[in-house]
Amino acid sequence: MIYLDYSANTPVDPRVLEVYCRTEQNFIGNPNSTHCAGQAARQEMNRVTGLIAAQLGVLPEEIIYTSGATEANNLALKGTARAARHVGRHIISTPLEHSSVGATLTALQQQGYEIDLLNIGRDGRIDLEQLEELLRKDTVLVSICGVDSELGTVQPVREIAALVHRCPNCRLHVDATQAVGKTALWLDCVDTMSFTAHKFYGSNGIGVLYKRKGLVIEPQMNGGASTTIYRSGTPTLGLAAALQAALALALDEQPQRCACVQALHDTLCAELQKRPGVRINSPASAVPHIVNVSVAGIKAGVFQQALSGQGVCVSVKSACSTDGTPSKAVFAVSRDRKNALSSWRISLSHLTTEEELNGFLAAFDRCLKDLQKEK
């Protein structure tokens, strides 16, 4: 098998798994319990949270643990919007967002919130002038994905934040799911930011919502003590410790990992551009981990399944997207619906080898030859 879908899920780093197992074995108490085992677990939970906060340059009380980025996005958007509903009900976002953002915005729209989506330029970035025009006194939230999951486009978050924070009642949420370990983060200029461990070689089942101190959001779950009033439920100490270990590795090793991925990316793109009918949709400024391609006249799902038959794993749009619809991100940058229907994503890792890349290209050539015969 050749795995090239690291933006959907990454394997747990053995060093991270070892931390999880050791923590689960050594701390058996519920951190909410008042006996000695529970208090030992609570002390360790506080230590782990302090390390995560220090790694991110934020305060421990600004860390909210969730089950993943989907829950973190739901909590950020619903919690912020509902807490500010007496101020206004206008929200601005983009057509590039993950379904956990898009579906949440739809749910809020059905509750009377007004949603505006920003235009996307040919470089995959939002239109800053349009954002400035759309901001109003009753705008309470702007939600942006820091790195687009389909194209790898890095949004100008600091410029966005400067515009948003001119409005005293408006808050900025950034979905950083695809950003951790790939690019610089923006915690000093955002109000909330979401990410999840399984995108950077941590465990599935845990994410984080950073919430700036002093910002009030409305909790989405009730009952059950936890590490914060904003998200109830028994603290998952083993998963938190594993997330901390994965985050430390991702940040410490980011330069080496990114350099490795950049070399793989450059080789891959150079080779793909030699193939007839192949179009690379990811802009030059995108993170090198994501390469979005189209093959003229061949639908994305058909090519993906052909590659899967060859033992190669790539994805059509993001793992949580609706099948059979054109990629909104690719349509935004290409203005070509057929091209958007033919687009699919290769996502690379520092774990990807040159042998795997060569194996992928060989499988690509076989699939291209067979599918062009069928046309």
Is the distance from CB of 93 to CB of 117 less than 8 angstroms? yes
Q: Which two tokens stand for residue 359?
A: 């194996």
For residue 194, give the 3-state DSSP assignment: strand
Distance CA 64, CA 58 (A): 12
- DSSP string covering 318-334: -TTSPTTS--HHHHHHH
Distance CA 338, CA 298 (A): 9
What angle, 0 to 180 degrees and rounded to 10, lies between the N-to-C axes of helices 36-56 and 237-252?
20
Distance CA 207, CA 222 (A): 19
Catalytic residue from among 167, 170, 320, 367 = 320
Rounded to the nearest 5 degrees, what angle is found at the Cα of 138, between the Cα atoms of 136 and 143? Answer: 80
Helices (DSSP H) in the chain: which residue ranges? 14-26, 36-56, 69-83, 99-110, 128-134, 157-164, 237-252, 254-272, 300-309, 328-334, 337-341, 354-374
Active site residue 320: yes
CA 270, 275, 279, 281 torsion-angle sign: negative
Distance CA 221, CA 55 (A): 28
Is the distance from CB of 28 to CB of 338 less than 8 angstroms? no
Is the distance from CB of 84 to CB of 59 less than 8 angstroms? no
Burial class for 1, CB neighbours closer than 10 Å (0-12, 13-18, 19+): exposed
Is the distance from CB of 363 to CB of 2 less than 8 angstroms? yes
Instruction: Please give the positions annotated as active site.
Output: 320
